Amino acid sequence: MVATFAFALPVLMVAVRLIDGGGPWWLTGHHLTTAQWYEAVRNTVAVVALTVAGGAAYLAIRRQRTADSTQHTAAHAVALIAEANRLATAAQEIAAKAQQTSADALVVSNKQYELAAAQHDAAAIRDLRTRFTTTSGQLAHASPAVRMAGVYAMAALADDWHARGNHAEVQVCVDVLCGYLRLPYTPDPDCERSQNGLEVRKTIVRVIAAHLVPAAEHPWSDRDFDLTGAYLADADFSSSQFRGRNTFNDTVFAGKYASFNGARFYDKTWFEGVTFAGPADFGGARFDEEVSYRNATFAGLTRFSETEFAGSNTWFDGATLDGATSFADAIFGGEGVSFHKTKFQKHTSFIGAAFNGWHTSFDAAVFTGPTISFERPAAWRMLTFDWDHVPGAQPPNVLPNKWPPAVQPTA
């Protein structure tokens, strides 16, 4: 209202000036007539009304334009948001497709890698099989030097198979080496060919033994060894670990010694009909399963001191101990231990031995050695001898004279 009045006053002055033509009445003192005042007021009201109406119209138009602009802006914003959503959806779809493409590419890459690996593996296996054929030919060569090289080549091949985890192929290589040792052989120190062949055999034994110790990089301990009828010279299997089945039936251990000192046999082991032409050392060895020395021949010094026979059965039936023999501090466990018809032909000691098995039989054993001592046993459980029920039948070379022996108290 104040603004309208402030605007109307100047308009009224202008209207009066236009009507009177003499200038402002407050300066000239000129007085308007009533008609003139009416005309001035009417014109002023008209101008003011027109001006107010125009302003209102202008404001209304501005408001409408602003509203239209706002609505347009809002619509545009909605459109922009919709477009942004569409673009975001499209981007997600593109990203998903890119991810799927990447995954597909990875699958393809993996398949290509697997294919390449399979091709490489197949090529490696072909190479190993080719090497086997070549190496087998070396072992059959007339030249001892070539055969010697063949021994090491076969061992290396077995190690490569072991590195690949193919134990069946390792067994094949071991079987070839054992097969060479089973070939007929007649020792002749005066024959160069025989001596050369003996060196090849010694090399095979050393190679096998090196793969049976706990520190072996590529152990063969879990393999089976069939050395039936083989001829071995200076065989040193000290501290060897035999986890597979082992057959030494009718094997000849020649040379200066045969040692299984500290060896361990985890599975059944057979030495039936074996011949130890020289000293045989099983001191500190352990047999976890059955072991048989039926009809074995020990021609030299034989040592089973501190050997542990822990298998269900141990047989020395019909064995011939033709050299000084020690079972001192040996441990006999299991269900049955049999020395039936065993021939003790030299000094034999069972001093300090522990007979813990369910039954140990020396029935029909032959004691012809100077002394066979069972003195101070660590355990004496269920042993039978031919003289148990025949007073005075105990051979005088079997000690102690006071029978049965008194168990030595453990510390």
Assess whether 362 and 241 both reside in one domain.
yes
Which range has highest mean pLDDT (1-5, 46-50, 66-70, 134-138)?
A: 134-138
What percent of the chain stands above pLDDT 90?
A: 64
Cα R_g (the chain), whole angstroms? 57
Q: What's the mean pLDDT in 144-168?
A: 97
Assess whether 380 and 365 both reside in one domain.
yes
Assess whether 21 and 162 both reside in one domain.
no
Domain membership of residue 100 (yes or no) is no
Assess whether 285 and 141 both reside in one domain.
no
Q: What's the mean pLDDT in 109-117?
A: 67
Q: Is there a contact between 383 and 404 (Cβ–Cβ < 8 Å)?
A: yes
Give the pLDDT confidence of 322-350 residue by residue, as tens digits.
999 999 999 999 999 999 999 999 999 99
Number of domains in the chain: 3
Which residue range forms the structural domain that includes residue 142? 115-219
Domain membership of residue 324 (yes or no) is yes
- Model confidence at 87, in pLDDT bands (50, 70, 90)? confident
Assess whether 140 and 70 both reside in one domain.
no
Assess whether 7 and 127 both reside in one domain.
no
Question: What token pair was written down for 74?
Answer: 């809002």
C-alpha to C-alpha distance for 99 and 103, rounded to whole angstroms = 6
Domain boundary among 167, 187, 219: 219
Domain membership of residue 239 (yes or no) is yes
C-alpha to C-alpha distance for 272 and 318, rounded to whole angstroms = 10
Question: What token pair was written down for 323?
Answer: 């050299």
The single-letter DSSP state of residue 399 is E
Assess whether 120 and 80 both reside in one domain.
no
Domain membership of residue 104 (yes or no) is no
Domain boundary among 219, 234, 259: 219
Ordered DSSP codes for 278-296: S-EE-TT-EESS-EE-TT-
Residue 57 is predicted with a pLDDT of 61
Assess whether 149 and 28 both reside in one domain.
no
- Model confidence at 61, in pLDDT bands (50, 70, 90)? low
Q: Is the pLDDT of residue 315 over 90?
A: yes
Is the pTM of the predicted complex or chain greater than 0.85?
Answer: no
Assess whether 169 and 51 both reside in one domain.
no
Assess whether 214 and 146 both reside in one domain.
yes
Rounded (10°) angle between helices 2-20 and 34-139: 130
C-alpha to C-alpha distance for 140 and 151, rounded to whole angstroms = 11
Residue burial 160-193, b: 16+ Cβ < 10 Å; e: rest: bbbeeeeeebbbbbbebbbebbbeebebeeeeee
What percent of the chain stands above pLDDT 70?
A: 78
Q: Is the pLDDT of residue 181 over 90?
A: yes
Assess whether 209 and 228 both reside in one domain.
no
Average pLDDT, the chain: 87
Q: Is there a contact between 338 and 318 (Cβ–Cβ < 8 Å)?
A: no
C-alpha to C-alpha distance for 133 and 152, rounded to whole angstroms = 14
Residue 168 is predicted with a pLDDT of 97
Domain membership of residue 364 (yes or no) is yes
| Rounded alpha-carbon distances, angstroms, from residue 404 to 174, 200, 240, 375 | 48, 51, 37, 9
Residue 26 is predicted with a pLDDT of 47
C-alpha to C-alpha distance for 389 and 129, rounded to whole angstroms = 65
Q: Is there a contact between 24 and 13 (Cβ–Cβ < 8 Å)?
A: yes
27, with CB counted inside 10 A (0-12, 13-18, 19+), is exposed
Cβ partners under 8 Å of residue 312, min gap 6: 289, 290, 334, 335, 336
Domain boundary among 35, 56, 91: 91
> Could you give the maximum distance between any two Cα atoms of the chain, in Å?
184
| Closest-CA residue to 361 (of 395, 384, 335) | 384
Domain membership of residue 56 (yes or no) is yes
| Closest-CA residue to 11 (of 53, 42, 34) | 42
| Closest-CA residue to 370 (of 340, 345, 403) | 345
The single-letter DSSP state of residue 127 is H
Assess whether 260 and 409 both reside in one domain.
yes
User: In terms of pLDDT, which residue wins out, 200 or 103?
Assistant: 200
Domain membership of residue 103 (yes or no) is no
| Rounded alpha-carbon distances, angstroms, from residue 298 to 165, 268, 324, 326 | 39, 21, 9, 12
Domain membership of residue 110 (yes or no) is no
